[in-house]
Amino acid sequence: MTLLEIRNITKRFGNFVAVDDINLDIKAGEFFTLLGPSGCGKTTLLRMIAGFDAPDSGEILLDGHNIIDVPPEKRPFHTVFQSYALFPHMTVADNIGFPLKMSGKSLEEINTRVASTLKEVELSQFADRYPHELSGGQKQRVAFARGLINKPRLLLLDEPLGALDEKLRENMQRELINLQAEAGVTFIYVTHAQNEALALSHRIAIMNQGRIEQIGEPSRIYNYPVNRFVADFIGKINMLDATVIKTSSSHLTLKVAGLGEVTVPARDGIKVNDRGVMAVRPEQIRMVAQTSEIADEFQFTGKIKDFFYIGDVTTYIIDLANSTRIEALLPNSLPGHAKLFEIGDPIIVSWQEQSAQFLLN
């Protein structure tokens, strides 16, 4: 069921178009992420949904009713800010109780609900502390509790994990997923961190220069990016210049610089002579010594140019014939795997046809 519909929303700041004619449907109960580089318009879009900024044109529909003229305090949405925005002059309990107080709940109800919420987020012993007496992670939990206590239809989250260190961020990601599942509240999450988006979301919208490039489930976006921008923004990918020389219902035959003819799965709207790139993810490339046998469709010989050991995996930089350079990833599944290959080793790289795809320039 659709909760929120965004229809042709545009927002300009002077000559700069921050959000450019965006359309979007958010389903009830969904964990939806707006992902993009800084300045792509994701925060501006979030602020318009919250009601802090008004769009220059377009509509935002909640349950089918336009809410453009509804002030932020009348929208059943709450926001978790990157800076947490806790009220510095109020205790943890008063911060969490604020939305209940504003909606005119009785003191008795406020006290009971605040107490049970504090218990849920394991902050009961901090009820009388002030925000400046809390750690970053604790402030974060207070901000989430405050955002959820009055059961909003929609929780808007603006890079809420941005200020936390990496270990804490991983823990909070897990807590967020649980929190969302338990509360049953629809989340719209804004971030520039692609791994966070992939780990948390049901669906992701990739934004660039005020427009949406692609909307889909995380694995769909990762494996089937619609264009170079999305492919490049999400994860790492090898891109080799290619021209389409033949099309069929199931395959595209490409002429790839340095590799010759390669076939990739077909996709709609591609014609002969279209120019673009053949793209393959580093972890979908296999590597063996040149003396070994390998069954994959596409095999090319090359030499190890360099490698980067990062613990769980090692990235190898490989020079193929005609000075084509690609990256491949090997998991270090045994302690001795830190260096499976040495610089200069002759190797074969290969991939299955389904791993490669053609992306238009």
By beta-carbon proximity to another protein, the closer residue of 152 and 276 is 152
CA distance 239 to 275: 12
Question: Taking CB under 8 A as the criterion, which residues in 72-131 touch another protein?
Answer: 72-73, 77-79, 81-83, 85-89, 98-99, 102-103, 130
Question: Taking CB under 8 A as the criterion, which residues in 135-194 touch another protein?
Answer: 146-147, 150
Min dist CB 16 to another protein, Å, is 19
Min dist CB 43 to another protein, Å, is 11
Rounded alpha-carbon distances, angstroms, from residue 23 to 5, 31, 60, 281, 288 = 8, 17, 9, 30, 47
Interface size with another protein, residues (CB under 8 A): 26
Query: Measured in whole angstroms, how far is the alpha carbon of residue 139 from the centre of its chain?
Result: 23
Q: Which of 203, 200, 153 is nearest to 176 (CA)?
A: 200
Q: What angle do CA 43, 163, 232 make, to 5 degrees?
A: 60
CA distance 72 to 54: 11
By beta-carbon proximity to another protein, the closer residue of 50 and 183 is 50
From 8-16, 18-26, 67-75, 223-231, give the range in contact with another protein by CB under 8 A. Answer: 67-75
Min dist CB 95 to another protein, Å, is 9
Residue 132 interacts with another protein (CB under 8 A)?
yes
Residue 54 interacts with another protein (CB under 8 A)?
no
Q: Where are the beta strands (DSSP E) in 100-193?
A: 154-158, 186-191
By beta-carbon proximity to another protein, the closer residue of 67 and 356 is 67
By beta-carbon proximity to another protein, the closer residue of 150 and 314 is 150
Three-state SS for 113? helix
Cβ-contact 66, 8 below 8 angstroms: no
By beta-carbon proximity to another protein, the closer residue of 99 and 225 is 99
**Both ends of the chain: CA-CA distance in Å?**
36
- Binding-site ranges for another protein (CB under 8 A): 50-52, 71-73, 77-79, 81-83, 85-89, 98-99, 102-103, 130, 132, 146-147, 150
